[in-house]
Amino acid sequence: MTAPTTVPASSADTFWADADRYLTRYAGAGGFTRKIIEHAEGSVLFTEDGEEILDFTSGQMSAILGHSHPEIVATVRRQVAHLDHLYSGMLSRPVVDLARRLAETLPAPLEKALLLTTGAESNEAAIRMAKLVTGKHEIVSFARSWHGMTNAAANATYSAGRKGYGPAVPGNFAIPVPNAYRPDFTTADGELDWRRQLDFGFELIDAQSVGSLAACIVEPILSAGGIIEPPAGYFAALHEKCRERGMLLILDEAQTGLCRTGNWYAFQRDGIVPDILTLSKTLGAGLPLAAVLTSAEIEQEAHDRGFLFFTTHVADPLVAAVGNTVLDVLARDRLDERAAELGGFLRRGLEAIAERHPVVGDIRGRGLLVGLELVLDRETKQGSDELGALVTRRCLELGLHMNIVQLPGMGGTFRIAPPLTATEEELSRGLAILDEAIGDATTRLG
């Protein structure tokens, strides 16, 4: 064994040889994008070779203010030199300020905040809290859900990652996804009959439950599941199903929270208030910051029962300061309104592409979280992972990074989520690349 060394930048061949030898692969069957990213600014990534790549995924759906936003950079530089990390039982002003300011953006009674690092961690804490408060253990989520890779979050995740890891935690159940484009329960007109589907889903839950239903955790828009937004009225009905059974409703707004959908929170469209709300990705604008928000009543009950979620980086001042800056920029620049306006611009551009390419089967989503589903035939709605992969590769060759829904059976669904700070010119450039890539891929497939 020798001491680690720092060496000058290696050749690209050596870089990839080192990556292949020393890095653990963590994305299932997917590999690393074979580009060495040197830096990023705004909506653009720059490779070591000088290529510019438009980022239509906001990093990992997180960089809502774009990359290297000058106010985020300034906050990090100032805060890391002043106060970066504390013992988990200590508090600092950025933490209390962020908790108060988050509460001020939310409807009553959501006012208690727990500041953490990742989405999985926030969902883990929310589920743990729900189990403790209700005294029950069963958890319900969507059949295409993604809530994270830690224990409770992974067991509430059904879109991927379940095979090969042994038995799941007992008491985890899935309900059908209300997908209007591919309805399973239909009305006489062939439309999605979501009420009948929801009733059926909970009939199955009731048949399997041992009488210990604690919570239902769902995304307002299923992102990794294919950008599927349940119809208006669905969440109010789901909330009532929970109430009838003494369950808490947890909404996971990792990707939809903080202005991306055109509202500060996606659940505002439905006129409901969850019992517990989780935020992550967008809250740190690319830095590891997450939050669990709930009512004073639920927090008090959890505390009385000895709620324990004591982590190394709970309530860290550095990322809390960043969160405060994120809220500053979102409010000052009215990025909720901007997301709604740019979302309309983006959707119109996608609709124009759909007119030119019959392989575009569906456009869905809200604000700057948009799904584009490719099909081989609009009548049969036959999907194609191969077509999606071809378009993805061609987009990257042309300078656009976009498709990150690469799960089996969903590889033809694009998740489009540029930064809220993107310009119309950048959106137009990305749309032009996508248009060309779809044309090239369909020609190749014949």
Q: 345 with 293, same domain?
A: no
Q: 38 near 265, Cβ under 8 Å?
A: no
Proportion of the chain above pLDDT 70, given as a percent: 96
Task: Look at residue 439 in the predicted model and tell me its pLDDT.
Answer: 97
Asked about 415 being catalytic, the answer comes back as: yes
Residue 3 pLDDT level (bands cut at 50, 70, 90): low
Q: What are phi and psi of 387, to 5 degrees?
A: -65, -45
What are 284's strand-pairing partners?
none
Q: 427 with 375, same domain?
A: yes
Q: 306 with 345, same domain?
A: no
Mean pLDDT of 376-400: 93
Q: What are phi and psi of 334, to 5 degrees?
A: 50, 55
Region of poorest pLDDT, from 186-195, 231-240, 386-395: 386-395
Please check whether residue 32 lies inside any domain of the structure: yes
Q: 329-340 burial by CB neighbour count: b if 16+ within 10 A, else e?
A: bbeeeebbebbb
The domain boundary residue, chosen from 332, 359, 389? 332
Strands (DSSP E) contained in 72-164 are 110-116, 138-142
Among 124, 219, 316, 362, the active-site one is 219
Mean pLDDT of 236-262: 98
Q: How does pLDDT run across 307-356, given as a tens digit for each residue?
A: 999 999 999 999 999 999 999 999 999 999 999 999 999 999 999 999 99
The domain boundary residue, chosen from 310, 332, 354? 332
Q: 263 with 355, same domain?
A: no
Among 146, 264, 426, 429, the active-site one is 146
Residue 385 has pLDDT above 90, yes or no: no
What residue has token string 């007119």? 355
Q: 55 with 194, same domain?
A: no
Q: How does pLDDT run across 396-435, given as a tens digit for each residue?
A: 999 999 876 666 666 689 999 999 999 999 999 999 999 9
Among 124, 252, 253, 299, the active-site one is 252
DSSP letters of 376-439? EETTTTEE-HHHHHHHHHHHHHHTEE-----STT-TTEEEE---TT--HHHHHHHHHHHHHHHH
Q: 343 with 328, same domain?
A: no
Task: Look at residue 407 in the predicted model and tell me its pLDDT.
Answer: 64
Asked about 299 being catalytic, the answer comes back as: no
Q: 134 near 246, Cβ under 8 Å?
A: yes
Q: 231 with 379, same domain?
A: no
Residue 8 has pLDDT above 80, yes or no: no
Among 112, 260, 415, 429, the active-site one is 415
Rounded CA separation 238/344 (Å): 28
The domain boundary residue, chosen from 304, 332, 360? 332
Q: How does pLDDT run across 132-162, given as a tens digit for each residue?
A: 999 999 999 999 999 999 999 999 999 888 9
Residue 283 pLDDT level (bands cut at 50, 70, 90): very high
Asked about 146 being catalytic, the answer comes back as: yes
Burial (CB < 10 A; 0-12, 13-18, 19+), residue 183, is: middle
The total number of structural domains that make up the chain: 2
Asked about 97 being catalytic, the answer comes back as: no
Q: 46 with 117, same domain?
A: no
Region of poorest pLDDT, from 18-32, 73-87, 360-374: 18-32
Q: Where are the alpha helices (DSSP H) in 135-259?
A: 151-155, 194-208, 234-244
Task: Look at residue 60 in the predicted model and tell me its pLDDT.
Answer: 94
Q: 326 with 299, same domain?
A: yes
Among 124, 241, 253, 255, the active-site one is 255
DSSP letters of 328-364? HHHHHTTHHHHHHHHHHHHHHHHHHHHHH-TTEEEEE
Q: 115 with 195, same domain?
A: yes
Q: Which of 410, 393, 343 is nearest to 146 (CA)?
A: 410
Asked about 281 being catalytic, the answer comes back as: yes
Q: 294 near 110, Cβ under 8 Å?
A: yes
Residue 27 pLDDT level (bands cut at 50, 70, 90): confident
Mean pLDDT of the chain: 95
Rounded CA separation 330/332 (Å): 6
Q: 64 near 411, Cβ under 8 Å?
A: no
Among 112, 144, 241, 281, the active-site one is 281
Q: Which of 260, 397, 408, 224 is nearest to 342 (CA)?
A: 260
Asked about 244 being catalytic, the answer comes back as: no
Residue 10 pLDDT level (bands cut at 50, 70, 90): confident
Task: Look at residue 5 in the predicted model and tell me its pLDDT.
Answer: 60
Q: 37 with 76, same domain?
A: no
Domain containing residue 214? 71-332
Q: 186 with 198, same domain?
A: yes
